[in-house]
């Protein structure tokens, strides 16, 4: 086979590959995407409103109170997290400065711990305030649902253990 016909075959193969790659890209970008959570809850809702309504039994008045409480909590939490991000950035950037004294590193770490404590206390109080919205009949359902939420939040998915009792009680 001479070089001219070899070159033509190679150019034909390259052309076919280019066309098929272009077609695949078009199919990828134009194909409808399956959105796993679409319809279940909105990004702002994150499922908790429907959970409170369906599993705990919140009425519309309780949902409105919860939404107000959630807006307040988000404002407080976002301010705390913004501050924590700045402090953590300062903390980890000490890696690049060997002259940073250990006392400053310890101080920044203590600041991070204080901010994390504020976040955790705020979330605990937030959950208490949501639970206070429940009627006595709704509280057992709330406790069941939020036990799972708490375990998921602290990084223990699927856990369903009972809360630890103090050592003095049996």
In a domain, 121, yes or no: yes
Which distant-in-sequence residues (6+ apart) come within 8 Å of 94 by Cβ?
Answer: 100, 104, 105, 108
Which distant-in-sequence residues (6+ apart) come within 8 Å of 153 by Cβ?
Answer: 123
In a domain, 40, yes or no: no
State the residue for tokens 């937030």: 126
Provide the number of structural domains found in the chain. 1
Question: By residue range, what is the domain housing residue 53?
Answer: 48-153
In a domain, 56, yes or no: yes
Which distant-in-sequence residues (6+ apart) come within 8 Å of 146 by Cβ?
Answer: 127, 130, 131
pLDDT in tens, the chain (170 residues): 578 888 889 999 999 999 999 989 888 888 777 655 454 444 455 578 888 888 889 999 999 999 999 999 888 888 778 778 889 999 999 999 889 999 999 999 999 999 889 888 988 999 999 999 999 999 999 999 888 888 888 886 555 555 554 444 44
Residue 102: give its domain's CATH number. Answer: 1.20.120.1490
């Amino acid at each position: 086979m001479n070089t001219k016909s070899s070159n033509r075959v190679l150019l034909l193969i390259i052309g076919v590959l280019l066309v098929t790659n272009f077609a695949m890209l078009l199919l990828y970008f134009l194909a409808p995407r399956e959105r796993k959570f679409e319809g279940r809850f909105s990004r702002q809702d994150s499922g908790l409103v429907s959970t409170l309504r369906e599993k705990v039994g919140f009425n519309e008045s309780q949902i409105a109170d919860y939404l107000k409480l959630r807006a307040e909590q988000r404002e407080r939490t976002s301010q705390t997290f913004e501050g924590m991000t700045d402090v953590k950035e300062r903390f980890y950037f000490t890696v690049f400065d060997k002259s940073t004294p250990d006392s400053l590193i310890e101080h920044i770490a203590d600041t991070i711990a204080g901010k994390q404590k504020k976040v955790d206390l705020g979330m605990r109080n937030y959950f208490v305030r949501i639970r206070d919205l429940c009627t006595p009949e709704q509280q057992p359902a709330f406790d069941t649902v939020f036990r799972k939420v708490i375990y998921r939040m602290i990084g223990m998915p699927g856990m369903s253990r009972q809360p630890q009792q103090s050592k003095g009680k049996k």
